[in-house]
Structure 1
């Protein structure tokens, strides 16, 4: 169900948390005033912004798994622990999908990941998209007592647990509760695996940011090993005030007006991308204004009216889970 909604397009658009522009000039000034380390966002309005995104019709909110803040990387993600925050958002939003991009499986006990995912799936009424990864920060592994060079094997073992392929280890009558619909598994990168293994075992691909031309090549690989399974990627966006401003590319994204963004997204759709998550940490304008502009000027081009009607019905029918 969540995978269907993610790809009910032609191209759907979500947001990568945190919803803060701490990598912009105004954000940098605010960070210095607050005496926050670089890469640690301002979360004072995190809930209101997530709820606004939900109300405006962004298809998914994506959370990263950053167990350890390391100043050499300079990125704390959304700060809050992944599954704890997912549970909070499940009770605080109504229609947006909730995705992990991505849970670092070798650093987590897979049976507990499965229980946490089932809990979020139940509390969110099946809105979870479980993105998983092998991890790419070597400094974290010694702290967790996990050999970095064995993360590929640990990833495969964890996937077996998440998919129920290791249930023979349970004794008669044992079960992991709550019972819930198994969330789709999407992999970030290749997770130290062969492309054919990824295509066979995963339900979708979380591809690293790139240009439309980059995605043409990557989508071709994905389609060869995975058929029509969803292909997802991300853009670090600085949305210019002038809708006609020409694109200026930076690492992982671009600064561009809304008309140029529509052209960029259209090219990605033509390349075979099914969903794009927008990261707004570089945007110079206030986050609330940017969300409103995106919802007014960009989302209607790509999100079908039928899906909007379906979401409105869902919003009326679904009740919040108790906090």
Structure 2
């Protein structure tokens, strides 16, 4: 089992010391959240809160994801940074390929490219991208990122994007894992066709149902290679629980030590955050 430390929407000055502390404590990775802007009004619901409320996002410090990944990669040597998750369809895929390829090439392939669709139509409006058919657009984005990060000449002719033969350098020495976030059937099917799935949280029964669907969709897609399953679960906080998750095929657990859906700024001191991640490493990571 691999352990990923989750912290987001906190004081921007905390990220570098937290990444250093997580690496020193033995974590394999750290998640990095993505948000472009906060619209004043929206009819959309946040998919991972019980009532769909999004107010906890207002006034939170959200460093641009690639900028943050670059800064944290530069002060660590082994920690992997998993985007959780990048709102892919609102971005130009060739630019994402350049950013991701450069990051992976510079920092020893320590990028997990978690991607998803944004639930906010306002994100699409802000970036000048149609909200309709965002799933199909995302599939094309993934194809383009895979092709352009090989370092070889690549061309693409799709419904939304048309790229003549071109190549990018530098290129990573290994393919960048593309991990799909989301609980909807479309997201699970997309994950089954790619390199892994990122769970958004929920109870154990719901997780079991999602894992069963994911296994079925992988079988239908004929997917048999390496596959990452990143999960948020209460079982991740005990050695016995880790064994239960391993038996279900989970490869990575995401652990955090505060409730992220609280309105207002994060008031937890940096020293407390570091003590919490170190305590978990002593009690759980060192035991499994």
Shorter-chain TM-score category? 0.7 to 0.9
CA distance in 2, matches of 1:103, 1:13: 20
1:75 to 42, 57, 65: 57
Query: Deviation digits for residues 253-302 of structure 1, max 9, x if unmatched?
Result: 69xxx9x6444433333332221111233397911111111111110223
Query: Deviation digits for residues 109-165 of structure 1, max 9, x if unmatched?
Result: 100100100111012111111111112122322111222222112101101101218
Contact 1:61 1:98 survives alignment (8 Å): yes
2:139 to 156, 159, 179: 156
1:219 to 200, 211, 214: 211
Matched, 1:273 2:263: no
Instruction: Mark the CA change 1:197 to 1:141 in structure 2 (over 3 Å): closer, same or farther.
Output: closer
Query: Deviation digits for residues 185-222 of structure 1, max 9, x if unmatched?
Result: 1100267837445412x100112212333222211221
Aligned ranges for residues 220-259 of structure 1 at < 5 Å?
A: 220-226=212-218, 227=224, 229-235=227-233
2:284 to 285, 294, 298: 298
CA distance in 2, matches of 1:176, 1:187: 24
Give the structure 2 partner of residue 320 of structure 1. Answer: none
2:6 to 2, 11, 16: 16
CA distance in 2, matches of 1:78, 1:90: 19
Give the structure 1 partner of residue 154 of structure 2. Answer: 167
Superposition TM-score, scaled by structure 2 size: 0.76
CA distance in 2, matches of 1:215, 1:90: 31
Give the structure 2 partner of residue 139 of structure 1. Answer: 122
Superposition TM-score, scaled by structure 1 size: 0.69
1:223 positional shift: 1.7
Give the structure 2 partner of residue 26 of structure 1. Answer: none
Contact 1:65 1:82 survives alignment (8 Å): yes
CA distance in 2, matches of 1:294, 1:234: 15
1:176 positional shift: 1.3
Matched, 1:186 2:179: yes
3-state SS, counterpart of residue 214 of structure 2: helix
1:59 positional shift: 0.9
CA distance in 2, matches of 1:289, 1:103: 29
Contact 1:15 1:277 survives alignment (8 Å): yes
Q: How many residues align?
A: 248
Matched, 1:55 2:37: no
3-state SS, counterpart of residue 131 of structure 1: strand
1:41 positional shift: 2.0
CA distance in 1, matches of 2:72, 2:81: 8
Contact 2:7 2:256 survives alignment (8 Å): yes
3-state SS, counterpart of residue 200 of structure 2: coil
Higher relative contact order (CA 8 A, sep 6+): 1
Query: Deviation digits for residues 156-185 of structure 1, max 9, x if unmatched?
Result: 11011012189224555x321212232011
CA distance in 2, matches of 1:289, 1:100: 24
Instruction: Mark the CA change 1:300 to 1:70 in structure 2 (over 3 Å): closer, same or farther.
Output: farther
3-state SS, counterpart of residue 62 of structure 1: strand
